[in-house]
Amino acid sequence: MTTVVDLRDVTRDNAALRRFLHGLPGVDQVGAEGRAGALATRSIKTTAKAWAIDTAISMVDLTTLEGADTPGKVRSLCAKAMRPDPTDASVPAVAAVCVYPDLVETAVHALRGSRVGVASVATAFPSGRASLETKLHDVRDAVAAGASEIDMVIDRGAFLAGRYLQVFEEIVATKAACGTAHLKVILETGELATLDNTRRASWLALLAGGDFIKTSTGKVAPAATPPVALVMLEAVRDYREVSGELRGVKLAGGIRASKEAVRYLVMVNEVAGDDWLDPRLFRFGASSLLNDLLLQRHKLATGSYDGPDYVTVD
């Protein structure tokens, strides 16, 4: 996107937002699927694979978002986040641990002294259906407990009904409630139905101040897919072109294998650029992925596979 855009002007009211979002270039679904598929066929050397596996580990948000979560489970997850392989100190720590707001304090205490961040889902996760006051209270609680990152969900009903300004203003208010904490905006692309909507929602979140755009809550299928990732990476690339600002992308849900993660890193490099090959700008929200990354890393180092007991059960 090379057109000069006054980003303040396009958010002045719902009509202006609609004109801007519906004026974005349409996504050729077949073309996007074809390009994403072609990028997945790239082969990389063994030395590059070792780098990619360590980079992917450093980009994981280790997550537990179950009703049965306990402080003990969170402390165990935090230990794994800081030292993913207890037998090998060369394995990098993950980027963050993501928990519900009431367990943030436990995670903060367990991760004290490490560089692992504490992320918390908020804003009536995963539906996003609550009053703005309730959502902001959720965010302030998590930040007060020590969360350094907030994962918010957008109101997909409002977005699909065309109430773009309402969604924009909720993201702006949430960003303000975050203070110094980083804000990841979950689009829930599986409910947006089309790649055109994914592009519009990406831009809406970026215009409103989201530090990251994120695919999914992990509760709705399909979650992260190559075509969706392609469109979101194009959005942050194009947003940088018009604003000069770097914003991140987080892929969440359904990524379990190392080879998938490596393919996504190839896509990141070729679509957005190598600036995004950094945990500050790209994340995987896939806890089960970490175990496969550890198994493949061990295979590269020793030449043989270990059994599933090599990694902990999450």
Q: What positions carry a catalytic annotation? A: 151, 214, 250
Q: Measured at the alpha carbon of residue 264, what is the angle toward residues 260 and 267, in degrees to the nearest 5?
A: 145
The two tokens of residue 46 are 């063994």
Query: What Å distances lie between residue 16 and 23, 78, 117, 122, 268, CA to CA?
Result: 10, 45, 37, 29, 31
C-alpha–C-alpha distance, residues 176 and 155, integer Å? 18
> Look-up: residue for tokens 């394995």?
91
Q: Which helix (H) or strand (E) holds 284?
A: strand 282-285
Q: Which amino acid is at 217?
A: T
Chain centre distance of CA 155: 17
Q: By CB neighbour count within 10 A (0-12 exposed, 13-18 middle, 19+ buried), where does 123 fall? A: buried
DSSP state of 183: E
Q: Which residues contact 274 (CB under 8 A, 6 or more apart)?
A: none
C-alpha–C-alpha distance, residues 126 and 60, integer Å? 20
Sign of CA dihedral 92, 96, 102, 107: positive
C-alpha–C-alpha distance, residues 293 and 84, integer Å? 10
